A and B are shown apart, each in its own frame.
Chain A
Amino acid sequence: MENVSIDSIWKKCLHGDRKAQYHLYQLFSKKMYVVCLRYANDSLEAEDILQIGFVKVFTKSHLFSDHGSLEGWIRKIMVNTAIEVQRKNKISYVEPLENEIAHQRTHHTEGDHLHYKDLITLIHQLPIGYLTVFNLYAIEGYTHKEIAEMLRISEGNSKSQLSRARQWLQTRLLKIEALTL
Protein backbone atom coordinates (compact mmCIF):
# COMPACT_ATOMS: atom_id res chain seq x y z
CA MET A 1 0.00 0.00 0.00
CA GLU A 2 2.75 2.37 0.81
CA ASN A 3 4.34 1.56 -2.52
CA VAL A 4 1.23 2.62 -4.36
CA SER A 5 1.19 5.98 -2.66
CA ILE A 6 4.89 6.47 -3.33
CA ASP A 7 4.29 5.65 -6.99
CA SER A 8 1.53 8.19 -7.29
CA ILE A 9 3.61 10.79 -5.49
CA TRP A 10 6.56 10.08 -7.75
CA LYS A 11 4.45 10.46 -10.87
CA LYS A 12 3.37 13.86 -9.72
CA CYS A 13 6.98 14.75 -8.98
CA LEU A 14 7.81 13.92 -12.58
CA HIS A 15 5.44 16.69 -13.61
CA GLY A 16 6.95 19.12 -11.18
CA ASP A 17 4.09 19.08 -8.68
CA ARG A 18 5.55 21.05 -5.79
CA LYS A 19 3.29 19.52 -3.17
CA ALA A 20 4.20 16.02 -4.24
CA GLN A 21 7.84 16.95 -4.18
CA TYR A 22 7.54 18.21 -0.63
CA HIS A 23 5.77 15.04 0.33
CA LEU A 24 8.56 12.93 -1.13
CA TYR A 25 11.11 15.02 0.68
CA GLN A 26 9.36 14.42 3.95
CA LEU A 27 9.30 10.69 3.34
CA PHE A 28 12.98 10.34 2.63
CA SER A 29 14.79 13.27 4.13
CA LYS A 30 15.56 11.70 7.50
CA LYS A 31 17.12 8.58 6.09
CA MET A 32 19.02 10.53 3.52
CA TYR A 33 20.25 12.98 6.09
CA VAL A 34 21.84 10.13 8.00
CA VAL A 35 23.50 8.98 4.81
CA CYS A 36 24.85 12.48 4.30
CA LEU A 37 25.99 12.68 7.90
CA ARG A 38 28.05 9.57 7.49
CA TYR A 39 30.03 11.10 4.69
CA ALA A 40 30.28 14.67 5.76
CA ASN A 41 32.71 16.37 8.06
CA ASP A 42 29.90 17.91 10.04
CA SER A 43 26.18 18.46 10.06
CA LEU A 44 26.42 21.69 8.06
CA GLU A 45 28.17 19.94 5.24
CA ALA A 46 25.69 17.10 5.58
CA GLU A 47 22.84 19.57 5.06
CA ASP A 48 24.53 20.95 1.97
CA ILE A 49 24.85 17.47 0.54
CA LEU A 50 21.21 16.77 1.35
CA GLN A 51 20.01 19.95 -0.35
CA ILE A 52 22.07 19.46 -3.48
CA GLY A 53 21.07 15.83 -3.59
CA PHE A 54 17.36 16.48 -3.47
CA VAL A 55 17.52 19.17 -6.12
CA LYS A 56 19.20 16.59 -8.32
CA VAL A 57 16.49 14.08 -7.52
CA PHE A 58 13.76 16.43 -8.70
CA THR A 59 15.51 17.84 -11.74
CA LYS A 60 16.68 14.46 -12.96
CA SER A 61 13.54 12.57 -12.02
CA HIS A 62 13.03 11.52 -15.62
CA LEU A 63 16.23 9.49 -15.43
CA PHE A 64 14.83 7.04 -12.90
CA SER A 65 13.58 3.97 -14.66
CA ASP A 66 10.78 2.25 -12.86
CA HIS A 67 12.58 -0.97 -12.03
CA GLY A 68 14.56 -0.89 -8.82
CA SER A 69 13.69 0.88 -5.66
CA LEU A 70 13.24 4.62 -5.62
CA GLU A 71 14.88 4.82 -2.25
CA GLY A 72 17.96 3.07 -3.57
CA TRP A 73 18.13 5.52 -6.48
CA ILE A 74 17.83 8.52 -4.23
CA ARG A 75 20.46 7.10 -1.93
CA LYS A 76 22.87 6.66 -4.81
CA ILE A 77 22.39 10.30 -5.69
CA MET A 78 23.20 11.28 -2.11
CA VAL A 79 26.35 9.18 -2.05
CA ASN A 80 27.54 10.55 -5.37
CA THR A 81 26.82 14.08 -4.26
CA ALA A 82 28.77 13.52 -1.08
CA ILE A 83 31.79 12.30 -3.03
CA GLU A 84 31.47 15.30 -5.35
CA VAL A 85 31.41 17.70 -2.43
CA GLN A 86 34.41 16.00 -0.90
CA ARG A 87 36.26 16.26 -4.20
CA LYS A 88 35.48 19.95 -4.32
CA ASN A 89 36.98 20.33 -0.91
CA LYS A 90 40.00 18.53 -2.29
CA ILE A 91 39.84 15.52 -0.07
CA SER A 92 42.36 13.01 -1.14
CA TYR A 93 41.70 9.37 -0.59
CA VAL A 94 45.34 8.49 -0.48
CA GLU A 95 46.44 6.91 2.73
CA PRO A 96 46.81 9.65 5.28
CA LEU A 97 50.01 10.35 7.14
CA GLU A 98 50.29 9.66 10.80
CA ASN A 99 49.53 13.21 11.91
CA GLU A 100 46.25 13.28 10.03
CA ILE A 101 44.85 10.52 12.16
CA ALA A 102 45.05 12.79 15.14
CA HIS A 103 42.95 15.42 13.33
CA GLN A 104 39.62 15.78 15.01
CA ARG A 105 36.70 17.25 13.13
CA THR A 106 34.11 19.32 14.88
CA HIS A 107 30.50 18.37 14.87
CA HIS A 108 27.26 20.18 15.47
CA THR A 109 24.91 17.35 16.26
CA GLU A 110 21.67 18.16 18.01
CA GLY A 111 21.50 17.91 21.79
CA ASP A 112 18.34 15.83 21.58
CA HIS A 113 20.03 12.89 19.99
CA LEU A 114 22.45 12.15 22.79
CA HIS A 115 22.24 8.43 22.33
CA TYR A 116 23.44 8.73 18.78
CA LYS A 117 25.98 11.28 19.53
CA ASP A 118 28.72 8.83 20.32
CA LEU A 119 28.50 6.99 17.08
CA ILE A 120 28.29 10.03 14.92
CA THR A 121 31.10 11.61 16.86
CA LEU A 122 33.09 8.49 16.47
CA ILE A 123 32.51 8.29 12.80
CA HIS A 124 33.49 11.88 12.33
CA GLN A 125 36.73 11.22 14.04
CA LEU A 126 37.78 8.86 11.35
CA PRO A 127 40.01 10.33 8.69
CA ILE A 128 37.74 11.15 5.82
CA GLY A 129 39.47 8.77 3.44
CA TYR A 130 38.94 5.78 5.72
CA LEU A 131 35.47 6.89 6.49
CA THR A 132 34.38 7.17 2.86
CA VAL A 133 35.70 3.78 1.94
CA PHE A 134 34.17 2.26 5.02
CA ASN A 135 30.82 3.84 4.25
CA LEU A 136 30.85 2.67 0.68
CA TYR A 137 31.89 -0.85 1.46
CA ALA A 138 30.33 -1.64 4.81
CA ILE A 139 27.16 0.38 4.68
CA GLU A 140 26.36 0.89 1.02
CA GLY A 141 27.70 -2.46 -0.06
CA TYR A 142 29.87 -1.47 -3.02
CA THR A 143 32.73 -3.71 -4.14
CA HIS A 144 36.32 -2.58 -4.00
CA LYS A 145 36.30 -2.36 -7.75
CA GLU A 146 33.35 -0.02 -7.73
CA ILE A 147 34.82 2.04 -4.94
CA ALA A 148 38.08 2.34 -6.83
CA GLU A 149 36.16 3.71 -9.83
CA MET A 150 34.09 6.14 -7.83
CA LEU A 151 36.96 7.57 -5.84
CA ARG A 152 39.50 7.20 -8.63
CA ILE A 153 41.88 5.17 -6.53
CA SER A 154 43.31 1.71 -6.89
CA GLU A 155 41.55 -1.34 -5.59
CA GLY A 156 44.49 -2.06 -3.33
CA ASN A 157 44.17 1.41 -1.88
CA SER A 158 40.51 0.81 -1.23
CA LYS A 159 41.20 -2.45 0.53
CA SER A 160 43.91 -1.07 2.74
CA GLN A 161 41.83 1.93 3.70
CA LEU A 162 38.96 -0.32 4.65
CA SER A 163 41.07 -2.48 6.90
CA ARG A 164 42.55 0.56 8.58
CA ALA A 165 39.08 1.96 9.14
CA ARG A 166 37.93 -1.25 10.70
CA GLN A 167 40.93 -1.41 12.98
CA TRP A 168 40.38 2.10 14.10
CA LEU A 169 36.70 1.59 14.76
CA GLN A 170 37.32 -1.63 16.57
CA THR A 171 39.56 -0.06 19.12
CA ARG A 172 37.23 2.91 19.56
CA LEU A 173 34.11 0.78 19.88
CA LEU A 174 35.67 -1.32 22.52
CA LYS A 175 36.41 1.81 24.46
CA ILE A 176 32.83 3.02 24.07
CA GLU A 177 31.45 -0.29 25.14
CA ALA A 178 33.70 -0.21 28.10
CA LEU A 179 32.38 3.25 28.89
CA THR A 180 28.72 2.44 28.59
CA LEU A 181 28.97 -0.70 30.62
Chain B
Amino acid sequence: MKNQDIDKLLRDHFNKLDIQPSTDIWKKIETELDEQKVISINKKTTRLKVIGTAAAILVGIGIVSLVLQRQSANRPYHIKYADRKMDREMNTPPKATSKVEPLPIERQVQLSVRPVNKGNQRENSSANAIETNMKVVAIQTSQAFERLKMGKQQPLMVVVDTQTQVAHVLEYIPIKPLIENPDEENSMMASTGTNSQTVVTKVLNVLSKTINQGNSAEVQFSNDDEGSLQIDILNSLVKNKKRKRKK
Protein backbone atom coordinates (compact mmCIF):
# COMPACT_ATOMS: atom_id res chain seq x y z
CA MET B 1 0.00 0.00 0.00
CA LYS B 2 1.56 3.13 -1.10
CA ASN B 3 -0.04 5.11 1.67
CA GLN B 4 1.70 3.17 4.30
CA ASP B 5 4.92 3.32 2.34
CA ILE B 6 4.77 7.05 2.29
CA ASP B 7 4.12 7.13 5.98
CA LYS B 8 6.98 4.80 6.74
CA LEU B 9 9.32 6.59 4.42
CA LEU B 10 8.82 9.89 6.08
CA ARG B 11 8.81 8.41 9.55
CA ASP B 12 12.14 6.73 9.02
CA HIS B 13 13.58 9.84 7.55
CA PHE B 14 12.49 12.00 10.42
CA ASN B 15 13.84 9.58 12.98
CA LYS B 16 17.24 9.81 11.42
CA LEU B 17 17.29 13.55 11.49
CA ASP B 18 19.81 15.08 13.81
CA ILE B 19 19.35 18.79 13.92
CA GLN B 20 20.61 20.87 16.78
CA PRO B 21 18.50 23.71 18.04
CA SER B 22 20.23 27.00 18.73
CA THR B 23 22.21 27.15 21.98
CA ASP B 24 20.40 30.08 23.53
CA ILE B 25 17.19 28.06 23.84
CA TRP B 26 18.40 26.49 27.06
CA LYS B 27 19.08 29.93 28.50
CA LYS B 28 15.53 30.94 27.70
CA ILE B 29 14.23 27.78 29.36
CA GLU B 30 16.33 28.44 32.44
CA THR B 31 15.10 32.03 32.73
CA GLU B 32 11.52 30.95 32.55
CA LEU B 33 12.04 28.21 35.12
CA ASP B 34 13.58 30.74 37.50
CA GLU B 35 10.59 33.04 37.06
CA GLN B 36 8.22 30.20 37.82
CA LYS B 37 10.18 29.35 40.95
CA VAL B 38 9.87 32.93 42.22
CA ILE B 39 6.13 32.91 41.60
CA SER B 40 5.63 29.70 43.54
CA ILE B 41 7.79 30.92 46.42
CA ASN B 42 5.81 34.15 46.53
CA LYS B 43 2.62 32.19 46.76
CA LYS B 44 4.04 30.20 49.65
CA THR B 45 5.30 33.26 51.50
CA THR B 46 2.05 35.13 51.11
CA ARG B 47 0.26 32.09 52.46
CA LEU B 48 2.65 31.97 55.37
CA LYS B 49 2.17 35.68 55.95
CA VAL B 50 -1.58 35.28 56.06
CA ILE B 51 -1.39 32.40 58.51
CA GLY B 52 1.20 34.22 60.59
CA THR B 53 -0.78 37.43 60.90
CA ALA B 54 -3.92 35.49 61.74
CA ALA B 55 -2.08 33.62 64.49
CA ALA B 56 -0.62 36.86 65.83
CA ILE B 57 -4.05 38.47 65.98
CA LEU B 58 -5.49 35.50 67.85
CA VAL B 59 -2.65 35.53 70.35
CA GLY B 60 -3.13 39.27 70.81
CA ILE B 61 -6.83 38.83 71.48
CA GLY B 62 -6.04 36.09 73.98
CA ILE B 63 -3.57 38.23 75.89
CA VAL B 64 -5.92 41.21 75.99
CA SER B 65 -8.79 39.12 77.28
CA LEU B 66 -6.57 37.63 79.97
CA VAL B 67 -5.47 41.09 81.11
CA LEU B 68 -9.05 42.34 81.20
CA GLN B 69 -10.15 39.35 83.21
CA ARG B 70 -7.48 39.95 85.78
CA GLN B 71 -8.39 43.58 86.11
CA SER B 72 -12.05 42.91 86.65
CA ALA B 73 -11.31 40.18 89.13
CA ASN B 74 -9.21 42.49 91.27
CA ARG B 75 -11.86 44.97 92.24
CA PRO B 76 -14.34 43.26 94.50
CA TYR B 77 -11.60 41.07 95.72
CA HIS B 78 -11.08 42.66 99.07
CA ILE B 79 -14.71 42.85 99.98
CA LYS B 80 -15.35 39.27 99.05
CA TYR B 81 -12.35 38.29 100.94
CA ALA B 82 -13.68 40.00 104.02
CA ASP B 83 -17.05 38.31 103.79
CA ARG B 84 -15.63 34.89 103.15
CA LYS B 85 -13.12 35.23 105.86
CA MET B 86 -15.71 36.37 108.29
CA ASP B 87 -17.94 33.42 107.56
CA ARG B 88 -15.15 31.07 108.33
CA GLU B 89 -14.21 32.90 111.47
CA MET B 90 -17.73 32.84 112.72
CA ASN B 91 -18.17 29.14 112.28
CA THR B 92 -15.04 28.22 114.13
CA PRO B 93 -14.71 29.15 117.79
CA PRO B 94 -13.11 32.52 117.81
CA LYS B 95 -9.62 32.46 119.13
CA ALA B 96 -7.64 35.31 120.36
CA THR B 97 -4.77 34.19 118.22
CA SER B 98 -6.65 34.65 115.03
CA LYS B 99 -4.28 35.59 112.38
CA VAL B 100 -6.49 37.83 110.42
CA GLU B 101 -4.43 40.46 108.83
CA PRO B 102 -5.70 43.95 108.34
CA LEU B 103 -7.73 43.82 105.22
CA PRO B 104 -6.75 46.06 102.38
CA ILE B 105 -8.95 49.05 102.42
CA GLU B 106 -9.05 50.60 99.00
CA ARG B 107 -10.47 53.81 97.79
CA GLN B 108 -13.62 52.19 96.53
CA VAL B 109 -14.73 51.30 100.02
CA GLN B 110 -15.80 54.37 101.80
CA LEU B 111 -15.77 54.05 105.49
CA SER B 112 -17.64 56.00 108.00
CA VAL B 113 -16.94 55.20 111.52
CA ARG B 114 -19.53 54.98 114.22
CA PRO B 115 -19.16 53.95 117.76
CA VAL B 116 -20.06 50.32 118.10
CA ASN B 117 -22.95 49.90 120.47
CA LYS B 118 -25.17 46.99 120.77
CA GLY B 119 -28.66 47.69 119.60
CA ASN B 120 -27.70 50.58 117.45
CA GLN B 121 -29.28 50.81 114.11
CA ARG B 122 -26.97 51.15 111.24
CA GLU B 123 -27.97 53.65 108.68
CA ASN B 124 -26.50 54.54 105.40
CA SER B 125 -25.46 58.07 105.78
CA SER B 126 -23.46 60.10 103.39
CA ALA B 127 -20.09 58.60 102.79
CA ASN B 128 -16.92 60.08 104.16
CA ALA B 129 -13.47 59.85 102.80
CA ILE B 130 -11.21 57.21 104.22
CA GLU B 131 -8.74 59.75 105.47
CA THR B 132 -11.20 61.59 107.72
CA ASN B 133 -12.51 60.45 111.05
CA MET B 134 -11.26 56.95 111.33
CA LYS B 135 -12.39 56.11 114.80
CA VAL B 136 -12.40 52.54 115.70
CA VAL B 137 -13.51 51.27 118.97
CA ALA B 138 -11.74 48.43 120.52
CA ILE B 139 -13.92 45.57 121.32
CA GLN B 140 -13.42 42.05 122.28
CA THR B 141 -13.15 39.66 119.42
CA SER B 142 -16.07 37.55 120.48
CA GLN B 143 -18.30 40.51 120.84
CA ALA B 144 -17.22 41.74 117.45
CA PHE B 145 -18.25 38.52 115.83
CA GLU B 146 -21.52 38.57 117.69
CA ARG B 147 -22.12 41.93 116.20
CA LEU B 148 -21.40 40.59 112.81
CA LYS B 149 -23.77 37.73 113.24
CA MET B 150 -26.56 39.99 114.21
CA GLY B 151 -25.97 42.56 111.60
CA LYS B 152 -25.03 40.24 108.86
CA GLN B 153 -27.11 42.04 106.42
CA GLN B 154 -25.51 45.28 107.28
CA PRO B 155 -22.26 46.35 105.79
CA LEU B 156 -19.84 45.53 108.54
CA MET B 157 -16.30 44.50 108.51
CA VAL B 158 -14.21 43.11 111.29
CA VAL B 159 -10.58 44.02 111.42
CA VAL B 160 -8.35 42.33 113.91
CA ASP B 161 -5.18 44.07 114.79
CA THR B 162 -2.51 41.42 114.85
CA GLN B 163 -0.32 43.30 117.21
CA THR B 164 -2.79 44.00 119.96
CA GLN B 165 -5.18 41.15 119.14
CA VAL B 166 -8.01 43.56 119.33
CA ALA B 167 -10.94 43.29 116.99
CA HIS B 168 -12.38 46.39 115.46
CA VAL B 169 -15.70 46.57 113.86
CA LEU B 170 -15.98 48.92 111.02
CA GLU B 171 -19.00 49.89 109.21
CA TYR B 172 -18.56 50.65 105.63
CA ILE B 173 -20.89 52.31 103.30
CA PRO B 174 -21.43 50.39 100.12
CA ILE B 175 -20.81 52.21 96.90
CA LYS B 176 -23.55 54.56 96.01
CA PRO B 177 -25.05 53.69 92.65
CA LEU B 178 -24.65 56.31 90.00
CA ILE B 179 -28.29 56.21 89.16
CA GLU B 180 -31.03 56.04 91.74
CA ASN B 181 -33.43 53.18 91.62
CA PRO B 182 -34.55 53.34 88.02
CA ASP B 183 -38.04 52.26 88.90
CA GLU B 184 -38.46 55.23 91.08
CA GLU B 185 -36.96 57.77 88.85
CA ASN B 186 -39.38 60.30 87.82
CA SER B 187 -37.10 63.18 87.40
CA MET B 188 -35.18 61.91 84.37
CA MET B 189 -37.10 64.10 82.07
CA ALA B 190 -36.36 67.72 82.11
CA SER B 191 -39.26 69.17 83.99
CA THR B 192 -39.77 71.81 86.56
CA GLY B 193 -41.57 69.48 88.87
CA THR B 194 -44.34 71.86 89.73
CA ASN B 195 -47.40 72.04 87.58
CA SER B 196 -49.11 75.31 87.04
CA GLN B 197 -52.86 75.42 87.11
CA THR B 198 -55.25 77.64 85.27
CA VAL B 199 -58.98 77.93 85.37
CA VAL B 200 -59.41 75.39 82.62
CA THR B 201 -57.19 72.84 84.28
CA LYS B 202 -58.81 73.32 87.63
CA VAL B 203 -62.22 72.71 86.19
CA LEU B 204 -60.97 69.62 84.38
CA ASN B 205 -59.34 68.29 87.52
CA VAL B 206 -62.59 68.65 89.42
CA LEU B 207 -64.33 66.78 86.64
CA SER B 208 -61.83 63.94 86.70
CA LYS B 209 -62.14 63.69 90.45
CA THR B 210 -65.88 63.35 90.28
CA ILE B 211 -65.65 60.75 87.53
CA ASN B 212 -63.08 58.72 89.37
CA GLN B 213 -65.00 58.65 92.54
CA GLY B 214 -63.04 57.41 95.42
CA ASN B 215 -60.03 56.47 93.46
CA SER B 216 -56.86 58.42 93.83
CA ALA B 217 -56.39 61.04 91.22
CA GLU B 218 -55.09 59.07 88.31
CA VAL B 219 -55.73 61.59 85.64
CA GLN B 220 -54.92 65.16 86.27
CA PHE B 221 -54.71 68.21 84.13
CA SER B 222 -52.15 70.89 84.26
CA ASN B 223 -50.35 73.40 82.14
CA ASP B 224 -46.86 72.91 81.00
CA ASP B 225 -44.13 75.51 80.52
CA GLU B 226 -45.54 76.98 77.36
CA GLY B 227 -49.06 77.08 78.67
CA SER B 228 -50.44 74.18 76.70
CA LEU B 229 -52.84 71.84 78.35
CA GLN B 230 -51.29 68.64 79.54
CA ILE B 231 -52.71 65.46 80.93
CA ASP B 232 -50.73 63.79 83.66
CA ILE B 233 -51.38 60.13 84.17
CA LEU B 234 -50.30 59.08 87.61
CA ASN B 235 -49.74 55.60 88.89
CA SER B 236 -49.54 54.29 85.43
CA LEU B 237 -48.08 50.91 84.73
CA VAL B 238 -46.03 52.35 81.98
CA LYS B 239 -42.70 53.64 83.10
CA ASN B 240 -42.49 56.44 80.64
CA LYS B 241 -44.77 59.35 81.20
CA LYS B 242 -47.18 59.92 78.43
CA ARG B 243 -47.75 63.48 77.68
CA LYS B 244 -50.60 64.53 75.50
CA ARG B 245 -50.64 68.07 74.40
CA LYS B 246 -53.65 70.02 73.51
CA LYS B 247 -53.59 73.52 72.31
- From B12-20, B88-96, B194-202, the one touching the partner chain is B12-20
Determine if A86 is an interface residue (Cβ-Cβ < 8 Å): no
Determine if A142 is an interface residue (Cβ-Cβ < 8 Å): no
- List of A residues within 8 angstroms of B237 by Cβ: none
The range of chain B's interface size is 20 to 34
Interface residues of A in 163-181 (CB under 8 A from B): 163, 166, 169-170, 173
B28-60 CB contact bits vs A (8 Å, 1 = yes)? 111011001100000000000000000000000
Determine if A79 is an interface residue (Cβ-Cβ < 8 Å): no
Q: Are A173 and B26 in contact (CB under 8 A)?
A: no
Interface residues of chain A: helix, strand, loop or mixed (majority): helix
A27-39 CB contact bits vs B (8 Å, 1 = yes)? 0011001100110
- List of A residues within 8 angstroms of B9 by Cβ: 173
Query: Chain A nearest CB: distance from B31 CB in Å?
Result: 10
Please pick, from A18, A50, A138, the residue contacting B30 in the complex, using a CB distance under 8 A.
A18
Q: Are A166 and B3 in contact (CB under 8 A)?
A: yes
Determine if B22 is an interface residue (Cβ-Cβ < 8 Å): yes
Q: Are B6 and A139 in contact (CB under 8 A)?
A: no
- List of B residues within 8 angstroms of A59 by Cβ: 33, 36
Query: Chain A nearest CB: distance from B14 CB in Å?
Result: 6
Q: Are A138 and B22 in contact (CB under 8 A)?
A: no
Query: Chain B nearest CB: distance from A172 CB in Å?
Result: 10
Query: Would A169 and B36 be within 8 Å (CB), given that A30-B18, A30-B20, A110-B19 are in contact?
Result: no
Determine if B245 is an interface residue (Cβ-Cβ < 8 Å): no
Determine if B10 is an interface residue (Cβ-Cβ < 8 Å): yes
- List of B residues within 8 angstroms of A47 by Cβ: 21-22, 25
- List of B residues within 8 angstroms of A102 by Cβ: none
Determine if A156 is an interface residue (Cβ-Cβ < 8 Å): no
Contacts A55-B36, A113-B19 given; 20 further ones with Cβ under 8 A?
A16-B37, A18-B30, A18-B33, A21-B33, A22-B30, A29-B20, A30-B21, A34-B19, A38-B14, A47-B21, A51-B28, A51-B32, A119-B17, A137-B7, A138-B6, A138-B11, A163-B3, A166-B3, A166-B7, A169-B10
Q: What are 19 A-B interface contacts by the 8 Å CB criterion?
A: A16-B37, A18-B30, A22-B26, A29-B25, A30-B21, A33-B21, A51-B29, A54-B29, A55-B29, A55-B32, A113-B17, A113-B19, A116-B17, A119-B10, A138-B10, A138-B11, A139-B14, A166-B2, A173-B6
Q: Which residues of B contact A (CB under 8 A)?
A: 2-3, 6-7, 9-11, 13-14, 17-22, 25-26, 28-30, 32-33, 36-37
